[in-house]
Amino acid sequence: MHGARPTIGDVAHAAGVSKGTVSLAYSGKRPVAEETRRRIFAAAETLRWTASSSAQALATSRTSTIGLVIARRPEIIATDTFFPRFIAGCEAVLAEAGMGLMLNVVADEDAETAAYERFAAGRVDGVILLDVEQGDRRPNLVRELGLTAVMLSAEPPHENDPVGTPVVYTEDAAAVGELVELLIEAGHSRIAHVSGPLRYVHAVARRDAFAAAMTRHGLLPDRIVEGDFTAASGRDATAALLDGDDRPTAIVYANDVMAIAGLSYARSSGLRIPEDLSVTGFDDSELSAHLSPGLTSVSTGADVRGAVAARTLLAALGGDARRSVLVDGTVVVRRGSIAPPSRP
Amino acid sequence: MHGARPTIGDVAHAAGVSKGTVSLAYSGKRPVAEETRRRIFAAAETLRWTASSSAQALATSRTSTIGLVIARRPEIIATDTFFPRFIAGCEAVLAEAGMGLMLNVVADEDAETAAYERFAAGRVDGVILLDVEQGDRRPNLVRELGLTAVMLSAEPPHENDPVGTPVVYTEDAAAVGELVELLIEAGHSRIAHVSGPLRYVHAVARRDAFAAAMTRHGLLPDRIVEGDFTAASGRDATAALLDGDDRPTAIVYANDVMAIAGLSYARSSGLRIPEDLSVTGFDDSELSAHLSPGLTSVSTGADVRGAVAARTLLAALGGDARRSVLVDGTVVVRRGSIAPPSRP
DNA sequence: CTGAAAGCGCTTACAG
DNA sequence: CTGAAAGCGCTTACAG
C-alpha cells in the first residue's frame, strides 16, 4: 500500500502530457488548456498524487515553511499562555497559504544559534523573532544567515532599531496606563508593579508605562519588583511587597500567572481580594476570566498577533517588506479584582 | 553577503576531492582518510557550508523532521500546560538527533486530515499522535499515507488496538487511585470527580480509575461530571456539584486548571479550602505548586513523555518498532489542598 | 498552448 | 580509500 509514492512523471504519463505541463497546471504560472488541466487533475486524483515538498524546495529554493525558536525555560513556556495562542494564530494564516511551521525550543544561546543555522540550511524561508531584547543579536544573525525575519514588539520601532526587519507591534503602554488610571480612580495611591524580566523590551515597555502613569498623577513609582513571569516569582514578589508596613493597596502584574499566584498568597495571609488588595494581570488568560472574582487583565490578542506576524512575514518573503505594522487589539478587560482600598 | 550559499561542490573543489567524498566524510558511511577528512572539514568551515536539507531530503527520501498536529480548540491549548511541556521534551531529544519538529494546529477534522496529507507529501518522516480517542481513525490514516507513527496513551495498549503503532503510555490509574485513597484516609466519603472530555482515552482512563477506587472502598461513584479541561468548565462543574444539599466534601479534577477555577468558585461562595472542600488537580502545573495553599496534583512528567515519545519514534524510523513503552513518571504530589472534612 | 532538457544540491551504487 | 556518474522529483528557461 505505501512505499512508492507516485511522482509527477506518473501523473504526466497517465494524462498523456509532459511533466512540465503538470507542473504548470498546478502552479498556474502559465496557461494550460482547460481540457488538458482536467485530464491532469483527474489523473492526479486517481493516483493520489501531491507534489513532493523536498523536490519543490530543491527546485525553487523555497521551503514553504517558516521557523519559530522559543528560548525560554520550559516552566515559563508552560506557564505563559502567550505562546500557544500566538502559534495557533500563526497557523491559521500559514495553513491557508500552504506553509508549514517549524518549531524549536532551546535552552541557551548556543542552542539558539544552532537552531537558526539549521533553519538556514534550507529548512525554512523566514523566521519570527519573539521576546526581543535591547540590542538583540538575532536580527543580524538571521540576516547573515540569509533568513527573512519579522520581530514582535510591545512598542513602535525606534529609529536606531536595525532596519530591514519589519516590526509587528502592540501598544502595551496605553493599556497599562489605563489600568493605573482605573486604580487611581478607585482611590488607590500606593500601587505596586511586578514586572517581567527586564532584559525584554516588552517588560521594560510595561514597566515604563506604569511609572509614567504614576508620575502623571503625582505618585511615586517606587514599588516595582522584577518577576520572571512564573507563579513562583509572582508569589515571592507579592510576599516582598506585602511585607513592609506601608504596603500597597493595589498591584499591577505583568502577566496573569504572577497575578494569580500573588492573589492567592495575599488571600492566604489574610487579605480579602479585592477589598484589601486590588490586583490586575496582563494577557487575559482563560483562567483569569473564570476565577471568582475574575481578574482584571489586558487582552493583547496573542492569536491576532500571531496571524499578523505570519502575514507580515509572508509579505516580506514575497518582497513586500514594510517597516512596521501595528496590531491594534490591546484592550483592558475589567473584572472584579479592583475595589476601593479598605484603608486608603 | 547572503544569496549564493556554498554547495557541496564548492567544498569539494576547495578541498580538492569529489563531492562524493565530502558527503562520505560527513556521513561516515564509509571510511575517509584522516588527512582528507581534515582538509574537507577545514574547507567547509571557511566556506561556512552546511548541507542543504532539501537536497538531502530529496536524495534520501528522509526529511529529518517529525510532525505533530494538535487538534484542540485554541483556548484549551492555551489553558492546558501539557502541550508546551511535551513539546519541550520532544525538542530536547530531536535537537540532539539533528531532527526538526513541524507543528500544525487545526480546528476540525478536515483540517486535520489535510495536515497529515501535507506532512506525508515529503515534509516529515513520522508523527506523534496525541489525545487518542476510542477507535481513533488516525493510526490508519497515517499508515495509508506512509507515515511512521507513535501514539500516546494513559494506559497499556489493548489487544484490539491497531498493531503497528507503538504506544507510549503512562499509568494514570494508579495515581488517581492514590488520590482517592488519600481523600478517604482523611475521612471523606462524598467525593466527586470532574473529568476531561470523555471521547479521549485518557479522560476515560482517569474517570474509570476514580470509579474503581471508590467502589473498592464501598463508596458509590455517583458524582461525576464531564468537563472539557477549560477553566470555564471547571467552574461550571463545581457550581453544579456544590449546588445540591448533599454536596461533596472533596473533588478530584482531571486537570489543574479546572481545579483552580473550581477552588476559586468554591471560595467565593463561602467555602474554605481545604477545610470545607478538599480538591486535587492533575498535571502538576507550575501555578499549582505556588498557590496558597498549594494544589495536590499528579505530576505526569509531560516533558519526559515528550522525550520518550520522540525517542520511540526515532527508533521506529530506524526500523526498531516496539509494541509499547511505559513512561514511569506519574507521581502524586501532596500539597495543602486536602484536609479532613469539616462536616463529615 | 505544449514538450524536451537542464538544473536545483545532495547521496550512493559502481568501478577502480 | 577515492572518483565519475546516475538519480531523487520537481521547476523553468528555451524552442516550437
pLDDT digits (tens, 9 = 90+) for A106-142: 988 999 999 999 999 989 999 999 999 988 999 999 9
Confidence grade of residue A342 (pLDDT, cut at 50, 70, 90) = confident
pLDDT digits (tens, 9 = 90+) for B93-137: 999 999 999 999 998 899 999 999 999 998 999 999 999 998 899
Which nucleotide comes closest to A37 if you measure CA to C1'? C1
Are B268 and A293 within 8 A, CB to CB?
yes
Fold category of A65-170+302-328 in CATH: Rossmann fold (3.40.50)
Question: Which residues of chain B from 17 to 46 reach within 8 Å of chain A, CB to CB?
Answer: none
pLDDT at A117: 92
* Residue B1: pLDDT over 50: no
Chain A residue at shortest CA distance from B60: A54
Query: Is B78 touching A (CB cutoff 8 A)?
Result: yes
pLDDT digits (tens, 9 = 90+) for A76-86: 888 888 888 99
pLDDT digits (tens, 9 = 90+) for A40-86: 999 999 999 999 999 999 999 999 999 999 998 877 888 888 888 99
Question: Which residues of chain A from 98 to 137 reach within 8 Å of chain B, CB to CB?
Answer: 98, 100-106, 111, 114-115, 117-118, 120-123
Fold category of B65-166+303-325 in CATH: Rossmann fold (3.40.50)
Are A78 and B103 within 8 A, CB to CB?
no
Give CATH for domain B172-300.
Answer: 3.40.50.2300
Query: Is A232 touching B (CB cutoff 8 A)?
Result: yes
pLDDT at A244: 81
Question: Which residues of chain A from 318 to 337 reach within 8 Å of chain B, CB to CB?
Answer: none
pLDDT digits (tens, 9 = 90+) for B54-77: 999 999 999 999 999 999 887 788
Chain A residue at shortest CA distance from B56: A54
Query: Is B290 touching A (CB cutoff 8 A)?
Result: yes
What does pLDDT average to over chain A?
A: 91
Are A105 and B111 within 8 A, CB to CB?
no
Whether B172-300 and B65-166+303-325 are alike in CATH topology: the answer is: yes
The domains of chain B are located at 8-51, 65-166+303-325, 172-300
- Cβ B46 to strand C below 7 Å: no
Are B285 and A78 within 8 A, CB to CB?
yes
Nucleotides of C under 7 A from a protein CB: 1-13
* Residue B170: pLDDT over 50: yes
pLDDT at B245: 82
Residue nearest to nucleotide C6 (CA to C1'): A59
Average pLDDT over residues A228-239: 96
Confidence grade of residue A162 (pLDDT, cut at 50, 70, 90) = low
Chain B residue at shortest CA distance from A145: B2
SS3 string of chain B? Answer: CCCCCCCHHHHHHHHCCCHHHHHHHHHCCCCCCHHHHHHHHHHHHHHCCCCCHHHHHHHHCCCCEEEEEECCCHHHHHHCCHHHHHHHHHHHHHHHCCCEEEEEECCCHHHHHHHHHHHHCCCCCEEEECCCECCCCHHHHHHHCCCEEEEEECCCCCCCCCCCCCEEECCHHHHHHHHHHHHHHCCCCCEEEEECCCCEHHHHHHHHHHHHHHHHCCCCCCCEEECCCCHHHHHHHHHHHHHCCCCCCEEEECCHHHHHHHHHHHHHCCCCCCCCCEEECCCCCHHHHCCCCCCEEEECCHHHHHHHHHHHHHHHHCCCCCCEEECCCCEEECCCCCCCCCCC
How close, in Å, is residue A339 to chain B by CA atoms? 16
> Least CB-CB distance to A95: which of B3, B111, B121?
B111
Chain B residue at shortest CA distance from A270: B292
* Residue A216: pLDDT over 80: yes
Nucleotides of D under 7 A from a protein CB: 1-13
pLDDT digits (tens, 9 = 90+) for B225-245: 999 999 999 999 999 999 888
Query: Is B75 touching A (CB cutoff 8 A)?
Result: yes
Average pLDDT over residues A14-25: 92
pLDDT digits (tens, 9 = 90+) for B135-164: 899 999 999 898 999 999 988 887 777 677
* Residue A343: pLDDT over 70: no
pLDDT at B343: 66
pLDDT at A245: 82
Which nucleotide comes closest to A60 if you measure CA to C1'? D11
- B79 or B4: whose pLDDT is higher? B79
Confidence grade of residue B2 (pLDDT, cut at 50, 70, 90) = very low
pLDDT at B310: 96
Name which of B1, B48, B61, B123 to mutate to probe chain A: the one with the most chain A Cβ atoms within 10 A of its Cβ: B123
pLDDT at B328: 87
pLDDT at B76: 81
- Cβ A56 to strand C below 7 Å: no
Average pLDDT over residues B258-276: 94
What does pLDDT average to over chain B?
A: 91
pLDDT at B115: 94
Chain B residue at shortest CA distance from A76: B286
